[in-house]
Amino acid sequence: MFRRSDQDRRPSLQIFVDGVTVEAREGDTVSAALLASGRDVRRETAVSGAPRLPYCMMGVCFDCLVTIDGVGNRQGCLVPVAAGMQIEIQKGKREIGR
């Protein structure tokens, strides 16, 4: 659904999504990189398990919650990617102590 512009010349970097290497670009947010990856990045809500994707991309809707480097409930739309970042798509509520 999402595709990068052919004019995007930013340097690429690698992140890991559920253990799989994904190419991102410097300056991407985690949510932008996930959407551009072409992977199924739908999380599941904690109560009903309904699927969610990043929606507002500005920190309002909380539909972009992911686990980043072992810390759950991070808003992917507000966190810039970094090389080697470990991202897990959340399925349900975050685990305590992670």
CB 59 within 8 A of CB 77: yes
Distance CA 41, CA 43 (A): 6
57 near ligand FES (CB under 6 A): yes
Torsion sign across C-alpha atoms 57, 38, 23, 70: positive
Among 33, 55, 57, 36, which Cα is nearest to 45's?
A: 55
Nearer to ligand FES, 9 or 15 (CB): 15
Q: Using CB under 6 A, which of 18, 50, 51, 60 touches ligand FES?
A: 60
User: Residues touching ligand FES: how many (CB under 6 A)?
Assistant: 13
Binding-residue pattern over the window 14 to 53 for ligand FES, x denoting contact by CB under 6 A: -----------------x----------------------
